[in-house]
Amino acid sequence: MSDSSDVAALSGQLLDHRYQMVEKVGQGGMCVVYMAHDRHTNERVAVKVLLPALINDPVSMARLRREAALAGQLVHPNVCHIVRLGETTGFDYVVMPFVEGELLRNRIIRAGQLPLPVTASFVRDMCAGLHVGHQLGILHRDLKPENIMVVTRPDGSEHAVVIDFSLANGPEVPKLTAPGLVVGTPEFMSPEQLCGQPLDPRSDIYSLAFMAYEMLTGQLPFEGNSQHEVMIARLKGDSIPIRTKRPDLNIPAPIEKVFQKALAHDADRRYPTALAFSDAFSRAAKGLDPRGRILNIFARR
């Protein structure tokens, strides 16, 4: 490879004398992802490169390098980490383990909604991975079903893996956006992120709860005739109670209380950490109160 214009057609090429690019497997707003064969390790990997239009953009290149710097610190079974940042003639690229599975978005579309035990399991997985990042001062900032992979273990069980930390930010990384600029996917953003305000782990928790709500119901916790109206509804107040949205599903009352807290408009009313949200969700799914006492999980009050 010798010309950055070839980024648009890397399939079949040998990158940096090491990575045999097999096929394109995904594309986002900034990058293209390829499945590749690592000739040094004889393993499948994922290689992410900037879109051709962004190759010479210093801000986009800085973001790619930032992702490598941040995600390289996140070594956890529920996070797709960066193996290395590489550089070849004309462009940089990042190498990650190839995570084979089904996107959570595709699972929701295929299934309509997920059972409570499955949702609780995936929430626990995602919270465990995010907590590692939060402990390092790293926020994801773009949590959505398209950035979660459902992976099947050898024993047939499934677990959720958080991918794509390209919009993450950490304490030792220069800010690459102007104050008040909103980046990410608006559909799952917290109210404070929509307003371009400073963020902390509670914003990621909001987005994660937003996803969990959709996983359980197949619908979003706010209503509107357009994405803009849904965003306005999010800025004005709290979410629609989950049992109001889908009374036919008989979702337990404790789960509704967990969502009311995690999706609170005011961040100070939310769970302070991902593990606190995970613990509350798991207990509610089992019909337990915060002290471990058994509740009447279908009680209307």
Same domain, 113 and 76: no
How many C-beta atoms lie closer than 10 Å to residue 261's C-beta? 17
- Cα four-point dihedral sign 142, 144, 146, 151: positive
Quick one: which of 143, 98, 106 has its CA closest to 125?
143
- Residue 151 confidence (pLDDT): 95
Same domain, 48 and 118: no
Q: What is the pairing mode between strands 43-50 and 84-88?
A: unpaired
Average pLDDT over residues 250-273: 95
Same domain, 262 and 120: yes
Q: Of 43, 66, 97, which residue is a domain's last?
A: 97
Q: Is-catalytic flag, 268? A: no
**pLDDT tier for residue 243 given thresholds of 50, 70 and 90:** very high
Give every CB contact of residue 35 below 8 A, 6+ residues apart in sequence: 21, 22, 23, 25, 44, 45, 46, 47, 98
Q: Of 97, 119, 152, which residue is a domain's last?
A: 97
Q: Which residue has the higher pLDDT, 216 or 6?
A: 216
Quick one: which of 94, 92, 71 has its CA closest to 169?
71
Least-confidence region, from 115-119, 166-170, 218-222 = 166-170
- For residue 292, being part of any structural domain is answered with no
For the chain, the domain total comes to 2
- For residue 293, being part of any structural domain is answered with no
- Residue 32 confidence (pLDDT): 84
**pLDDT tier for residue 3 given thresholds of 50, 70 and 90:** very low
What CATH number is given to the structural domain containing 124? 1.10.510.10
**pLDDT tier for residue 8 given thresholds of 50, 70 and 90:** low
- Residue 221 confidence (pLDDT): 93
Helices (H), the chain: 58-71, 104-111, 116-135, 191-194, 201-217, 227-236, 242-245, 253-262, 274-285
- For residue 10, being part of any structural domain is answered with yes
Same domain, 27 and 44: yes
- Domain that residue 61 falls in: 4-97
Same domain, 91 and 111: no
- For residue 57, being part of any structural domain is answered with yes
- For residue 74, being part of any structural domain is answered with yes
Q: Which residue has the higher pLDDT, 158 or 294?
A: 158
- For residue 291, being part of any structural domain is answered with no
Assigned token pair, 215? 């996983």
Q: pLDDT digits over 74-87, tens only?
A: 788 998 888 888 88
Same domain, 181 and 117: yes
pTM of the model: 0.81
HEC string for 41-98 = CCEEEEEEEECHHHCCCHHHHHHHHHHHHHHCCCCCCCECCCCEEEEECCEEEEEEEC
Average pLDDT over residues 23-30: 79
Same domain, 29 and 126: no
- For residue 300, being part of any structural domain is answered with no
- For residue 261, being part of any structural domain is answered with yes
Q: Which of 16, 38, 142, 200 is catalytic?
A: 142
Same domain, 155 and 244: yes
Same domain, 48 and 176: no
Same domain, 45 and 107: no
Average pLDDT over residues 138-151: 91
What CATH number is given to the structural domain containing 63? 3.30.200.20
Same domain, 78 and 106: no
Same domain, 143 and 253: yes
- Residue 5 confidence (pLDDT): 45
